[in-house]
Structure 1
């Protein structure tokens, strides 16, 4: 027991700078920054440019598309040249991209292009990069370290609304965008430069194949251009449903291309190659489970206010109950840390099943409206599920596939997760159609929670890559 405690103590003594830098970096990464900025500034864009809600929120589809095309590329680069070399320039790109929203005109295509480009070059700030160093330096308390770092995705929500609104009230929405974009450059960049140093990674990284990296970047840029142009055409011809189908097609094409072309990872690093991973059923179980779970969690959170409004609640009551940094924000943060601690002590798929299946009960609560108290409980359950998603993705990849191609595998799974979570709010409303409320949709979502959670129970025992020779 004393040896275990000493190991854990040594992990934290050496790894706390990485966790701290990751917490700040994830707090100001591509995931929360554009979301909260648009959530507050969106109304101002509608007033100035005459855009409706659908035009404004469609920006998230283009961000999702940008992440879809660049997340696997970012992951492959991290495995080839190291996380630090990817995330530092990506932080700058995210900041400048966010600032460039201040230069928008009334043409929504400019708005979508900025969203897309910011996502493509800012994907390196997502947990794909930060978690690589954490799982590299933590074993006994890997889950807790991940949970603490990943609370950053929720922490920004507590200060985003008042700070952005202050800038709008005193300096206008364009200045607000500049202030939001300045945050990663002024805060996360210097902290990451000083503290985010993975000595284990640097020691075993071989000299990268510059030609391979160059080919990789050209391939990614080609994919990005093709996807953006295709989205413009498909949006006109087939609407947003066609765009979602297009993104699914690109994800499938990416999976095939990665399988055929990639040989990521250092041969000295324990773990599966990407080809071995894609021949392993666990990869497909995790990818599909998180695509499904990302969709149902995001769909519930994005539409929770409208679900209550359809049940007869006043706008004031609905807003009070489900404001972003209220019930849902606190339960998400709780889920991050609690889930991280639990997977260090118990079998992670069982913890995942518990956290991800309980929201099915919440769906039935919403569907039949069992009162305010039960509605709060329902959203707490959804918030807890949202809290453990990122923890579990990183934990599963490291425990079942090792570190050889960690970031690429994580990037592919994150792309699927982003596809589900980015498109589900629209899918929810398509499925609702002309129904009076979301009751029928919620029943389908409950089934989705149960299926996604149950799939993770099939993963089996962890693999000890340090103790086995891989062919």
Structure 2
């Protein structure tokens, strides 16, 4: 009877979809939907507004290792629930801002709570719950970013046109709280052992035909966590994550205003909805490719399609180019959310993952904190995004090379430990 029940880990994945469809796009992909109305009313530059998002992302640079460690050892429900409540209150306070300083103060608080409530706990929990089909589970969890983006893009446009940007922030904060908080309180469980369960696939071992003995193999780095920091593969991995943060922040942060400037608000909203929807399939595809052919192939696919988006944006004054961009960007958008945990878990085992991913997340946040601001500053200086798109295309190629290099360099430190386990027949 038990085996016919849905494995609870899939409910964890469903809850993660809800979180990633609300809190994540609210501060990443959709943040700059507010750029034009806020800058026009306050009389500030685009880079001054974008600095608020830079501050938000920068919190992860120093705090991610602490957050990952705290979540790994602490009470997940209490930590995440409190973070979600404070997150939404601070998000609502954007609507009260009278100056950029107020925006920056709210972003400081949101940045801390974002770490405790979204990607870090989700990646740790899913890694704990899944040994088999981890790529699929992670990709499904991150499809929420695309689902939320597709819904929020026209919804925010409607709110802005109907209620203005101040009320829109407050309405969104209320929506986020009502939807996200119950997931943390009632759905998320940090480890399957808390429910008397095992990770999905934990019992799928290789029968070697020796009576009732079965074995399984692990192919991850076999080094103490403290000793990895000086290893070339880990340095290269972190460099790749920094670059990944830059290209994702630059694209997600500046595509909305760039599209609006090139094609107008209506077409921009439609294109954003398209790449958000295609992103759902893109994330699932990257996860499936990862499970079937490994992290190298999934990284090539993700970075390749992501890079093509910048090529098409160079011709963004033509309608066909922005729609082509929406397709390839949607297919590659998974490299910002799905690929980092998959690349990390392909190198490190479950025991080390939580602690190591804190440093990986810090590296991503370094890139996220400067990417959008860098692109906005280049626009302010030149009046065009052209040079920025070329730069991001080159950095996408460098991201791919770093990930592949780190993976292959790490193989020399892997111990394929064959672990025997006696299984009682019957």
* CA-CA distance at 1:102 after TM superposition: 3.4
Q: Counterpart of 2:209? A: none
Change (3 A) 1:170 1:384: closer
Give the match's secondary structure for 2:102: helix
Q: Is the 8 A contact 2:243 2:395 kept in 1?
A: yes
Change (3 A) 1:298 1:332: farther
Q: Is the 8 A contact 2:76 2:189 kept in 1?
A: no
Q: Is the 8 A contact 2:123 2:341 kept in 1?
A: yes
Greater alpha carbon shift after TM alignment, 385-394 vs 274-283: 274-283
TM norm structure 1 = 0.72
Which of 351, 357, 371 is equivalent to 1:404?
Answer: 351
Which of 11, 22, 27 is equivalent to 2:16?
Answer: 22
* CA-CA distance at 1:282 after TM superposition: 3.1
Deviations 1:414-442 (A, max 9, x none): 22222223322332354568657554444
Aligned ranges 1:307-346 → 2 under 5 Å: 315-316=263-264, 320=267, 323=270, 325-346=272-293
Which of 377, 390, 393 is equivalent to 2:324?
Answer: 377
* CA-CA distance at 1:352 after TM superposition: 0.2
Aligned ranges 1:26-37 → 2 under 5 Å: 26-29=20-23, 31-35=24-28
Change (3 A) 1:287 1:83: farther
Structure 1 stretches lacking a partner, 5+ long: 1-8, 205-269
Q: Is the 8 A contact 2:343 2:403 kept in 1?
A: no
* CA-CA distance at 1:325 after TM superposition: 3.3
Give the match's secondary structure for 1:278: coil
Q: Is the 8 A contact 1:37 1:180 kept in 2?
A: no
Hey, what's the Cα distance between the residues in 2 that align with 1:170 and 1:319? 15
Change (3 A) 1:66 1:297: closer
Q: Counterpart of 1:241? A: none
Greater alpha carbon shift after TM alignment, 68-77 vs 295-304: 295-304
Give the match's secondary structure for 2:189: coil
Aligned ranges 1:230-269 → 2 under 5 Å: none
Is 1:274 aligned to residue 225 of structure 2?
yes
Give the match's secondary structure for 2:131: coil
Relative contact order, CA 8 A, sep 6+: which one is greater? 2
Q: Is the 8 A contact 1:299 1:425 kept in 2?
A: yes
Hey, what's the Cα distance between the residues in 1 that align with 2:258 and 2:159? 31
Q: How many residues align?
A: 390
Which of 57, 66, 74 is equivalent to 2:59?
Answer: 66
* CA-CA distance at 1:12 after TM superposition: 5.7
Q: Is the 8 A contact 2:287 2:298 kept in 1?
A: no
Hey, what's the Cα distance between the residues in 2 that align with 1:363 and 1:45? 26
Hey, what's the Cα distance between the residues in 1 that align with 2:164 and 2:52? 20
Aligned ranges 1:25-174 → 2 under 5 Å: 25-29=19-23, 31-35=24-28, 38-46=31-39, 48-104=41-97, 106-168=98-160, 173-174=165-166
Deviations 1:214-263 (A, max 9, x none): xxxxxxxxxxxxxxxxxxxxxxxxxxxxxxxxxxxxxxxxxxxxxxxxxx
Hey, what's the Cα distance between the residues in 2 that align with 1:187 and 1:308? 30
Q: Counterpart of 2:205? A: none
Hey, what's the Cα distance between the residues in 1 that align with 2:54 and 2:370? 7
Q: Runs of at least 4 residues of structure 1 off by over 6 A? A: 305-309
* CA-CA distance at 1:58 after TM superposition: 2.0
Q: Counterpart of 1:393? A: 340
Q: Counterpart of 2:190? A: 198
* CA-CA distance at 1:144 after TM superposition: 0.6
* CA-CA distance at 1:283 after TM superposition: 2.5
Q: Is the 8 A contact 1:83 1:133 kept in 2?
A: no
